[in-house]
Amino acid sequence: MPPASSSRRFRAPGALLLFALALGGAYYARAAVKPSVDSVAEGLTCQCGCGLTVANCNHPQCEFSVPVRDQIEKMIAQGRSREQIIEAFRVKYGEKILSAPTTSGFNLLAWITPFGVIAIGGALLVMVFSRWTSGQPSLPARLDEQNFDAALRRRLDDEVRKDA
């Protein structure tokens, strides 16, 4: 009878393989689903100046979003995927057509910077609050008397008594 540890060694790769197959199956199932006009139009920014996506453009007879929605419909009928359609518009109009920056190259900075700023700000807040609540004052509560000249101490005491 094999030891229990050897059977555990075979379970981890098997579980990992099943997980990978499930992810791959989910990816291909998603790719096989025919995209809708709205799902593609959400990925494109309207160029009429409204600042909205093609799917949400609030101009009923928009000179940009209406023809683009028609083009998207034709591309879907040709069997193109969402990614292929968005890539075709990116090639035609450039990066400005995308409703979200790509996650590669310099655009990666647009994705990372906000999280970096939040992390740095949070770390600074933790530092400040920990110093405020540490209970240790930044200056000593009372000065050590042995650091003073005895003659100056007597003179100070005399001056305080005179004024009182």
Which of 87, 81, 93 lies closest to 36 in space, CA to CA?
Answer: 81
| Residue 21: pLDDT band with limits 50, 70, 90 | low
For residue 72, the model assigns a pLDDT of 93
Mean pLDDT of the chain, nearest integer: 79
CB atoms within 10 A of CB 138: 6
pLDDT band at 15, cuts 50/70/90?
Answer: low
- Write the CATH number of the domain with boundaries 16-100: 1.10.8
**Strand-pair partners of 98:** 44
pLDDT digits (tens, 9 = 90+) for 37-51: 889 999 999 989 888
Count Cβ neighbours within 10 Å for each residue of 115-136 and write b for 16 or more, e otherwise: eeeeeeeeeeeeeeeeeeeeee
Summarised one tens digit per residue, pLDDT across range 117-131 is 999 999 999 998 888
How far apart (Å, rounded) are the C-alpha atoms in residues 153 and 134? 33
pLDDT per residue over 87-112, tens digit each?
999 999 988 888 887 777 777 887 88
DSSP symbols for 80-148: --HHHHHHHHHHHH-GGGBSS--SSTTHHHHHHHHHHHHHHHHHHHHHHHHHHHSS--SS-SS--GGGS
CB 99 within 8 A of CB 57: no
